[in-house]
Structure 1
Amino acid sequence: MKCASVLTIEPVQPRNKPSARRNVSRSCNRPHGQGRLINDSFSPSAIQETWSMRTTLFVVLVLLGSAAAGTAEEAKQLAQQATTVLKTHCYRCHGQDGSVEGAVNFVTDLPKLVARKKVVPNDPKGSRLFRRMEDGTMPPPDEQPRPSAAEIAALKRWIEAGAPTGESVLPRAAITQGNMYATVLADLETLDRRARRFQRYFTLTHLHNAGLSDEELQTYRNALSKLVNSLSWGSKIVNPVAVDANRTVLRIDLRWYVWDATIWNRVLQEYPYGVLDDSVSARAVAVGTATKQPIVRADWFVATASRAPLYYDVLQLPGTLADLEKLIRVDSTENIKQERVARVGFNGSGISRFNRILERHDSAQGMYWRTYDFDEPPANLVARVNGGMLADRRNIFAFPLGPGGLTDNPFQHAGGEAIFALPNGLHAFYLASAVNARLDKGPLAIVSDPKRPDRAVEAGVSCMSCHVTGILPKADQVRDYLDKNPKALKRTEADVIRSLYPGQDIAMKLMEADAKRYGEVVAKTGARVSRFEAVSTITQKYETEVDLSTGASEVGLSADEFRARISNSETLVRHIGSLRIGGTVTRQIWAQAFGDIARELQLGGLYQANLNGPTLKDNTGELDPLEARGDSANQWAFAPGGRRALVASGDRSVRYYDVEARRDIKRLVGHTASVWAVALTPDGKFAASGGMDGTARAWDLTTGLESARFDDHTSLVSAVAFAPNGKWIVSGSFDGSVVYWKTVNGQEGWRAEKLGLVTAIAVDPQGAFVAVTTPSALVLLNLANGREFKRYGTFAAPLSAVAISPNGKWIAAGNDLGTVYIWQVGEEEARFTLTGHEGGVRSVAIKDGRWVITGGTDRTLRLWDTAAAKQEVAAFRQHTASVTGVAFLENGTQTVSGDGTLRALPWKIDQFIVAPADAPNKELPKAPDRIPYARP
Structure 2
Amino acid sequence: MNFTTRIYAIPLIAFVACSVSAHAQMNSTLASEAKEILRRHCAECHSETDTRGGVSIFDHASLIDAGIVVAGKPDDSMMYQLMTSTDDDVMPPSSRPTLSADQIATIRQWISAGADAFPSDAVIDAERQPSDDVLESPSDASDLSVLETILDHVRETPPSDRAFLRFISLRHLVDGGITPERLSVHRVAVAKAINHLSRQSDIVVPTVVDKISGGTILAIDLRQLGWHRAVLHDTEDETRSLNSFDLALLEYPYAVLPLDSEIFDQIEAEFLNIAKQVRPIAYVRGDWFCSVALGPDLYHDWLQLPRTITELETSLDVDVQSNVASGIAKRAGLTISGVSRNNRVVERHPYRDGDYWKSYDFQSNIGDENILRDPVNFRASGGEMIFRLPNGLQAYFVCDAHGNRLDAAPTSIVVDKFASDKVVRNGLGCIRCHSRGIKEFRDSVYDIVLALPGNPGFDRRRAIELYPENDHWPAVVAGDCAKFQAALDALGDDGSPREQVSTVSSVFLESALTVDQAAAELGADSNTLKASCLAPGFARLGLAPLSSGGVIRRDAWEDNFDAAVSILGLGVPVVPFDGNLRSEYVSSESLDAITLGTNKPNNFFEPGDKLSVNVVNDSDRDVFIEVVGVSVDGQRVRLTEGVEKLAARSTFRFPKSADAAIEVRGGIGREQIVLFASNGVFAAGRIYRGKNTADRVTHSFYDSPEHGKRRRSQTPTVIKKTITIETR
Give the TM-score category using the shorter length: 0.5 to 0.7
The corresponding residue for 2:263 is: 281
The corresponding residue for 1:200 is: 166
The corresponding residue for 2:283 is: 295
Gaps of 5+ in 2: 1-10, 40-46, 49-54, 78-110, 130-140, 229-241, 580-642, 644-681, 684-699, 718-728
Q: How far did residue 127 of structure 1 move?
A: 3.0
User: Is the alpha carbon distance of 1:158 and 1:673 closer, same or farther for their aligned partners in structure 2, counting shifts above 3 Å?
Assistant: closer
- For 1:738-758, what per-residue CA distance to the aligned partner results, in whole angstroms no more than 9, with x for missing partners? xxxxxxxxxxxxxxxxxxxxx
The corresponding residue for 2:445 is: 478
- Quote the sequence identity (%): 28
The corresponding residue for 1:519 is: 485
User: Is the alpha carbon distance of 1:271 and 1:189 closer, same or farther for their aligned partners in structure 2, counting shifts above 3 Å?
Assistant: same
Q: How far did residue 610 of structure 1 move?
A: 6.2
Which residue of the other structure, out of 194, 199, 220, is the alignment partner of 1:233?
A: 199
Q: Once superposed, what is the RMSD of the aligned Cα atoms?
A: 4.3
Q: How far did residue 172 of structure 1 move?
A: 6.6
The corresponding residue for 1:655 is: none
Q: How far did residue 455 of structure 1 move?
A: 1.0
User: Is the alpha carbon distance of 1:172 and 1:589 closer, same or farther for their aligned partners in structure 2, counting shifts above 3 Å?
Assistant: farther
Q: How far did residue 479 of structure 1 move?
A: 0.5
Q: Is the 8 A contact 1:548 1:559 kept in 2?
A: yes
The corresponding residue for 2:133 is: none
The corresponding residue for 2:253 is: 272
Q: How far did residue 504 of structure 1 move?
A: 0.5
Alignment of 1:675-824 (within 5 A): 692=706
CA distance in 2, matches of 1:180, 1:585: 26
Q: Is the 8 A contact 1:234 1:257 kept in 2?
A: yes
Q: Secondary structure at the match of 1:423?
A: coil
Which residue of the other structure, out of 9, 23, 41, is the alignment partner of 1:89?
A: 23
The corresponding residue for 1:263 is: 244
The corresponding residue for 1:826 is: none
- Would you say how many aligned residue pairs link Structure 1 and Structure 2? 508
Which residue identity does 1:440 align to in structure 2? Answer: D
Which residue of the other structure, out of 439, 451, 465, is the alignment partner of 2:406?
A: 439
Q: How far did residue 101 of structure 1 move?
A: 11
Q: Secondary structure at the match of 2:368?
A: coil
- For 1:214-265, what per-residue CA distance to the aligned partner results, in whole angstroms no more than 9, with x for missing partners? 2111100000101110110111001111111221111111112211343122
Which residue of the other structure, out of 543, 554, 567, is the alignment partner of 2:521?
A: 554
The corresponding residue for 2:339 is: 351
Q: Which has the higher contact order (CA 8 A, sep 6+)?
A: 2
CA distance in 2, matches of 1:530, 1:165: 19
Which residue of the other structure, out of 61, 68, 73, is the alignment partner of 1:131?
A: 73
Q: Secondary structure at the match of 2:369?
A: coil
User: Is the alpha carbon distance of 1:222 and 1:322 closer, same or farther for their aligned partners in structure 2, counting shifts above 3 Å?
Assistant: same
CA distance in 1, matches of 2:120, 2:208: 30
Q: Is the 8 A contact 1:118 1:128 kept in 2?
A: no
Q: How far did residue 561 of structure 1 move?
A: 2.2
Q: Secondary structure at the match of 1:202?
A: strand
User: Is the alpha carbon distance of 1:101 and 1:417 closer, same or farther for their aligned partners in structure 2, counting shifts above 3 Å?
Assistant: farther
Which residue identity does 2:411 align to in structure 1? Answer: L
Q: Is the 8 A contact 1:119 1:130 kept in 2?
A: no
Alignment of 1:841-920 (within 5 A): none
Does residue 469 of the first structure (1) align with residue 444 of the second (2)?
no
Q: Secondary structure at the match of 2:513?
A: coil
User: Is the alpha carbon distance of 1:357 and 1:199 closer, same or farther for their aligned partners in structure 2, counting shifts above 3 Å?
Assistant: same
Q: How far did residue 584 of structure 1 move?
A: 0.5
CA distance in 1, matches of 2:440, 2:294: 24
Does residue 393 of the first structure (1) align with residue 374 of the second (2)?
no
The corresponding residue for 2:152 is: 186
Q: Is the 8 A contact 1:93 1:101 kept in 2?
A: no
- For 1:760-817, what per-residue CA distance to the aligned partner results, in whole angstroms no more than 9, with x for missing partners? xxxxxxxxxxxxxxxxxxxxxxxxxxxxxxxxxxxxxxxxxxxxxxxxxxxxxxxxxx
Which residue identity does 2:283 align to in structure 1? Answer: I
Q: How far did residue 484 of structure 1 move?
A: 1.4
Q: Secondary structure at the match of 1:369?
A: strand
Q: How far did residue 346 of structure 1 move?
A: 1.4
Q: Is the 8 A contact 2:324 2:330 kept in 1?
A: no
User: Is the alpha carbon distance of 1:180 and 1:166 closer, same or farther for their aligned partners in structure 2, counting shifts above 3 Å?
Assistant: closer
Q: Secondary structure at the match of 1:692?
A: helix
Alignment of 1:492-503 (within 5 A): 493-503=459-469
CA distance in 2, matches of 1:166, 1:557: 25
User: Is the alpha carbon distance of 1:167 and 1:342 closer, same or farther for their aligned partners in structure 2, counting shifts above 3 Å?
Assistant: closer
Q: Secondary structure at the match of 2:517?
A: helix
Q: How far did residue 3 of structure 1 move?
A: 8.5
CA distance in 1, matches of 2:552, 2:701: 42
CA distance in 2, matches of 1:515, 1:185: 40
User: Is the alpha carbon distance of 1:582 and 1:85 closer, same or farther for their aligned partners in structure 2, counting shifts above 3 Å?
Assistant: farther
Gaps of 5+ in 1: 8-83, 136-154, 379-391, 402-409, 613-628, 630-649, 652-671, 677-690, 694-715, 719-841, 843-855, 858-879, 883-899, 902-936
Q: Is the 8 A contact 2:398 2:405 kept in 1?
A: yes
CA distance in 2, matches of 1:474, 1:414: 21
Does residue 365 of the first structure (1) align with residue 353 of the second (2)?
yes
CA distance in 1, matches of 2:408, 2:287: 22
CA distance in 2, matches of 1:548, 1:85: 41
The corresponding residue for 2:425 is: 458
User: Is the alpha carbon distance of 1:611 and 1:370 closer, same or farther for their aligned partners in structure 2, counting shifts above 3 Å?
Assistant: closer
CA distance in 2, matches of 1:334, 1:102: 55
Which residue of the other structure, out of 221, 224, 227, is the alignment partner of 1:253?
A: 221
CA distance in 1, matches of 2:114, 2:446: 58
CA distance in 2, matches of 1:193, 1:211: 36
Q: Secondary structure at the match of 2:195?
A: helix
The corresponding residue for 1:115 is: 57
Q: Secondary structure at the match of 2:168?
A: strand
Which residue of the other structure, out of 302, 318, 337, is the alignment partner of 2:306?
A: 318
The corresponding residue for 1:867 is: none
Q: Secondary structure at the match of 2:478?
A: helix
The corresponding residue for 2:322 is: 334
* Larger relative strand fraction: 1
- For 1:643-677, what per-residue CA distance to the aligned partner results, in whole angstroms no more than 9, with x for missing partners? xxxxxxx99xxxxxxxxxxxxxxxxxxxx99999x
Which residue identity does 1:480 align to in structure 2? Answer: D
The corresponding residue for 1:222 is: 188
Q: Secondary structure at the match of 1:215?
A: helix
